[in-house]
Amino acid sequence: CSAPGVGTPSADLVTRLDAALAERSLDGFLAAFPAGTDGRERGTSWYTALSHGDGHLTQGDAQLTVTTMFPGDRRTASQTITYQLDGDRVSAVSRTQGTPLWALEATDLTGTGSGTLLSAGIDQAARSVWATRLDHAVTAVVAAGVPGAEGWPRGLVVEVPGSPADFRLLTGSEASSASAVTTCEGGTPRIVVSPEARGLDAGWLDSTLVHEAVHVATDSACVAGGASLEWAVEGLAESVAARVDPATASRNRGLVADYLAAHGVPDALPVRLESLTDYALAQLAVDQVRAHLGSRADDLLDRAVHDAASVGSAERREITGWYVAELRRRSRG
């Protein structure tokens, strides 16, 4: 495919949008969208996100490559919007994985003391609760002193899509599979909250966001596949959440006890983490590393999250031994 020719409506789109952004003109920006409520909502959503996220647009063939860096982002994100024009106005956006939330549906942007909330379909009161939850999660993770968090700006970008379909487009996962997921879509870690989690207990959601904030702080979602030990990635996040939330700590102790009653003492660290019980076992492994290594634990956990190959076989045997010994102790009551 060749690039759109100079002077075509498509080629002109970026010029018009950039000019409106530079002039801080919402009306000028909305001129690139259909008249009417739907067009205005879509255009306002784009304008708000691009204005607050220091957005930059590059024209492709019926595509825009957009870069944004919202307050709370670790790095600039690069995403693609595939669109259709009706004359010289954006009439539709293709629903493809990787499209920004604010281009998929009308999105509200809420700035917080520690980052940015992007949400769809929730009212001002709910946005305020999520903004407070975001700030609390940052405070908790900073206080915990998470290993491997160098370069984290002590902020978060949290996205709350309005539908399961949009959650799937943003994360590649079903909305029923998790309360929230930290993704590296676009090249920077952002937390995406499942719309099916909105009605869950507030304490659960607080703990969930702390857990996901650890993933953002350590940048674990952006580590190359196979370069992390999953028990360390999830165990570290769950360990911090349990330190902050007594209910999480109590639940995880119960899950470990139930596991031991049903399965006995394992002889290896958890590998595939697919359930809350797996997360509780991973937390126990991380807590044992901390208990036995003290201040030296941070180095090992950092390597386990970012460079699994550097965790030698002797270290792995030692960690496994601590893990199994603690489970054996608990199994005896």
CATH class of 108-221: alpha beta
Q: Is the dihedral of CA 41, 42, 46, 49 positive or negative?
A: positive
Q: Is 9-104's fold the same as 108-221's?
A: no
Q: What is the pLDDT of residues 43-81, one digit of tens each?
A: 999 999 999 999 999 998 889 999 999 999 999 999 999
Q: Write the CB contacts of 14 (distance below 8 Å, at least 6 apart in sequence).
A: 57, 58, 59, 64
Percent of the chain with pLDDT over 90: 93
Q: What is the pLDDT of residues 138-168, one digit of tens each?
A: 999 999 999 999 999 999 999 999 999 999 9
Between CA 272 and CA 281, with CA 276 as vertex, the angle to 5 degrees is 65
Count the neighbouring beta carbons within 10 Å of the beta carbon of residue 232: 29
**Contact yes or no for 53/69 (Cβ under 8 A):** yes
The token pair at 165 is 């379909």
Please report, for the chain, the start and end positions of each structural domain, with discontinuous segments joined by +: 9-104, 108-221, 230-331
**Contact yes or no for 328/288 (Cβ under 8 A):** no
CATH of domain 9-104: 3.10.450
Tell whether the model's pLDDT for residue 22 goes beyond 90. Answer: yes
